[in-house]
Every structure is written in structure tokens, then in C-alpha cells.
Structure 1
């Protein structure tokens, strides 16, 4: 599995398209508590974790249960871990859930890259 993360509007999806020859139809964009792992790439994982936080679902456990479905995938998530701690309880919980999931995915990945200004920083 390839895990790509970086700040908002830093070029994560464009990087993945170019580096892994992805077409639009290869990319699933998360918006709820279910992920279509039949696509080669899963984008906007932070939207999945927000939906999970709101629904009381553990996103790490979801990925553990579905492990066999994403082991060959390209997973993309927005980095939202730096800066001021949010005041709202839901936003703090979302940030924490996303952080726990990105740690899990980073450990499990064969390849981890951070994208900043469209440039790749290979971490693993």
C-alpha cells in the first residue's frame, strides 16, 4: 500500500495521478462511512474519518476489518495535525481519529510520502 499525505491544496492527488498513472475513474473520493476499495486510489480519507467521528465508528478498526481490500491501494489523506488545537469537541475528536488512522496506515504502508508544494518527501 502507498500512503500519501500533505496539507490542503498541496498537490497530493495530482502527484498520485502522475506517479501511479491514475485516471479519474481509478479514484474514490471519501464522503461517508463506507469506502469503495475496488478503486486503485482512495482520496480524502479525512472526510471518511469525520463521518466516522460523527457516527461513533472507530476508523482504525474499519481499516483493520477491511485490510485485505486495501493492501494494494494508494491512500491519500490531508495533513491536519499542526497548528492551534480546535476548540470544538467534535473537531478535536476528528483530528485525533484522523491522526490515529494515519499512524496506523503509515506503519502498514510499504511507501509513505508527504507532499508539500507539489513536491514529494519520501518518508518510507
Structure 2
């Protein structure tokens, strides 16, 4: 089962993920992994890399659009990757203030 969990920084996403999946099935901080791959110029992750996993990603698209080209490209890629993962996921949750809301699938 593929699960995507999104939400702002420090909202309890990882703690919630641990209630759903064994530790080894959790991919935490997807946004950081994408950023590191872009900085290192290594292959970027794609949605098929996360089939059967619980993926945790911080929302990075809200707020002011950065002037820095790298920051804009990183946010764009991360957002599109989350859309692709959400499309294939069995469940998608948004966590806000430690409260998870199922926005796709049945909780």
C-alpha cells in the first residue's frame, strides 16, 4: 500500500506515519531528498520509486515565490512529484496541528 502524508513543517507528519507503517517502509522528508539530488546532480526520484511505501513530505509550495532559480525549480519538482505519488497512492493524508485528515482513500 502506498501512502502519501503532506503538511507543514513540525506538524506531526512522521509521528503519524509511524502509526500507519513499519519504520522501514517510511520515506521521511521527501522534499529534502529531492533538494539533495538536485544539488548533487544525481538522478531525481520519481513516483515509481515509492510504490508500497509511506512517503512523508513537507509542503513547500505555499507562500512567496522565491527569487532564486534553484529554489523555484526545487519547489516545482517536489510539488509535481507529490502529485504523481498522490495519483498512484492508495491513501493521501494532510497533517495539520498533529491532526491527520484523509484526503484520498479510506482511512
Q: Using the alignment, how far apart are the partners of 2:37 and 2:79 within structure 1?
A: 13
Q: Using the alignment, how far apart are the partners of 1:12 and 1:2 within structure 2?
A: 12
**Shift, 1:56, TM fit:** 5.8
**Shift, 1:59, TM fit:** 2.9
1:46 to 24, 28, 31: 31
User: How many corresponding residue pairs?
Assistant: 102
Q: Using the alignment, how far apart are the partners of 1:56 and 1:74 within structure 2?
A: 23
* SS in structure 2 at match of 1:102: helix
Q: CA RMSD in A?
A: 1.5
Q: Where does residue 84 of structure 2 map in the other structure? A: 104
Return closer, same or farther for 1:21/1:49 CA change in 2, 3 Å cut-off.
Answer: closer
Q: 5+ unaligned residues in a row in structure 1: which ranges?
A: 27-38
- Contact 1:3/1:113 (<8 A) preserved: yes
- Contact 1:53/1:97 (<8 A) preserved: no
**Shift, 1:121, TM fit:** 1.4
- Contact 1:59/1:97 (<8 A) preserved: no
TM-score for the superposition, normalised by structure 2: 0.86
Return closer, same or farther for 1:59/1:108 CA change in 2, 3 Å cut-off.
Answer: same
- Contact 2:21/2:54 (<8 A) preserved: no
Return closer, same or farther for 1:95/1:4 CA change in 2, 3 Å cut-off.
Answer: same
TM-score for the superposition, normalised by structure 1: 0.75
Task: Show CA shifts across 1:54-108 (max 9, x none).
Answer: 2163433xx43x3xxx322111000111110011111111101101100000101
